[in-house]
Amino acid sequence: MSESYPIQPSEPARRLGVLTYHTILNYGCSLQASATVFLAQTLGWDARVIDRWFLPSENRSTWDWPRLFSLRLLLATLTCRGSLGRVLRRRRGLRFAQRHLPRTPYHFVRWEDVHGRDLGLDAIVVGSDQVWCCRPLDDPETFFLKDAPTDIPAIANAVCVGMEAIPERWVTLFREGFKRFTAISVRDEASVRLVNALGAGAVRVLDPTQLISAKTWREQFAARPKRHGRKLVCYLLWWDPSNDMRRLAAFARQMDCEVEVFCEVGALWRPLRKPMDWVKHSRQVFKRFRPHVHLRQSAGPAEFVGEIADADWVVTNSFHGLMFASIFGKEVRILPRRTENVAGTGGSDKLRDFAAHYVSGPLFTKDFDAALASLVRGEHITYNEAALEADRERSRAWLREALGKLTERGSTQKESL
């Protein structure tokens, strides 16, 4: 995969702010943000993440020391409830961000919080990820640059709406918000239809993680895997894997392999409030310590990339799980979501949209048993590498051209002043 971008060393690097999800404890959020910053830097921009927080009290740069040494955390850790693992994972995520996600020296919750302040930016890129989704905890106004300085040009790159339809109360915001961008790209066909239906022009591009080569991901972003040999990696969103440990152990014995399990926001991390809950859960503790099955609760983004790069098989229900499996050419199976987003479509549409363009074979399975059985039978999926590489080049070209337009618009605005 080629990554030869034109860089303008004779001119000072223009300052680009990347507005996306970057503070969420989620591998996909961290990695797509890192990919966007890396791509912009390769194109000659001084790119950094705009440090937008979700809550005024948010502070991702410090340890939660009182919680770390609490009795409740100790009990949770002794019964494999995962609280300590989550704290350690956040720490590893912070280290990854310090290396790959330079941030603005200021932070804010809403744009109005930085009124009258020099933001130190020549242009803004909004995206990737589901930044235009209208879930209860999300704020699409911020990602439509409402109340942001209007003299800073902006594009939207590989954004996902993440909904079957735009709620009526948000239609005006979306329609007016689209006008703020010099160019708009999205990463699935459903988002193309929704954006175009409101009078804006959008093109489909690949997620930014796809635009970096497997070699670069390994050399610059991945940690060295803990174990080598044949390996299955499971990456699960909204899934408690404790009930699946037995079948994973059976798979490891049958295939003579290791199993690495990565989880996101599942029932495994929900606090246990009733005494009987602790008793019932403790009965399951020793069942989790099965040979060759490893629950990677404290792993950061670098460990996640390294393990998928080293895997033979991947089982996931995550969009970015599929992205990295395809980047490294892995045999992958997609599980159905047990919990969809409040907004509706969640990740399923994006997964099927990507599969329709680039993957053939038994990719989607009805449950965990079916996924493992398919791998045991030696069934194979096929990636359309020619189509993938063509769209990677097209997506890179779109980003290069869109950022070029930002440069032209910024120069015009300076001349007018």
Using left for φ > 0, alpha for ψ between -120 and 50, and beta otherwise, residue 401 falls in alpha
pLDDT tens string for the chain (417 positions)? Answer: 445 444 444 456 799 999 998 877 789 999 999 999 999 999 999 999 999 887 665 554 444 444 545 565 565 555 545 556 777 788 888 899 999 999 999 988 889 888 878 899 999 999 888 889 876 556 788 899 988 998 999 999 999 988 888 888 889 999 999 999 999 999 999 999 999 999 898 999 999 999 999 999 999 999 998 888 899 999 988 776 667 888 898 999 999 999 999 986 444 444 445 555 545 555 554 455 567 888 887 889 999 999 999 999 999 999 999 999 999 999 999 998 765 443 334 456 789 999 999 999 999 999 999 999 999 999 999 999 999 999 999 999 999 999 998 876 655 554 444
Residues 270 and 342 in one domain: yes
Q: What strands, in cross-sheet order, belong to the sheet with 293-295?
A: 293-295, 258-264, 231-237, 313-316, 331-334
Question: Contact 307/234 with Cβ under 8 angstroms?
Answer: no
Whether residue 6 lies inside any domain: the answer is: no
Domain range enclosing 366? 219-384
| pTM for the whole structure | 0.86
Residues 69 and 151 in one domain: yes
Helices (H), 224-271: 245-255
The predicted structure's pLDDT at residue 164? 83
Residues 247 and 357 in one domain: yes
Residues 200 and 153 in one domain: yes
Phi and psi at 150, nearest 5°, equal -80, -10
The predicted structure's pLDDT at residue 254? 94
Whether residue 9 lies inside any domain: the answer is: no
Residues 265 and 314 in one domain: yes
Residues 89 and 180 in one domain: yes
How many structural domains comprise the chain? Answer: 2
C-alpha–C-alpha distance, residues 295 and 243, integer Å? 13
| Segment 379-384 long-range contacts (CB within 8 Å, at least 24 positions apart) | 380/331, 381/331, 381/332, 383/326, 383/329, 383/358, 383/359, 384/357, 384/358, 384/359, 384/360
The predicted structure's pLDDT at residue 136? 56
C-alpha–C-alpha distance, residues 336 and 342, integer Å? 16
Residues 37 and 186 in one domain: yes
Residues 240 and 206 in one domain: no
Residues 270 and 159 in one domain: no
Residues 203 and 352 in one domain: no
End-to-end CA gap in the chain: 42
Residues 159 and 181 in one domain: yes
The predicted structure's pLDDT at residue 290? 63
- As a whole number of angstroms, the longest Cα–Cα distance in the chain is 72
Residues 401 and 377 in one domain: no
- Going by C-alpha positions, the residue among 140, 182, 181 that lies closest to residue 160 is 140
- Going by C-alpha positions, the residue among 238, 218, 229, 241 that lies closest to residue 303 is 218
Question: Contact 47/155 with Cβ under 8 angstroms?
Answer: no
The predicted structure's pLDDT at residue 181? 95
- Going by C-alpha positions, the residue among 123, 175, 132, 126 that lies closest to residue 150 is 123
Whether residue 124 lies inside any domain: the answer is: yes
Q: What is the CATH number of the domain that holds 148?
A: 3.40.50
Whether residue 60 lies inside any domain: the answer is: yes
Cis amide leading into 128 (omega within 30): yes
Whether residue 2 lies inside any domain: the answer is: no
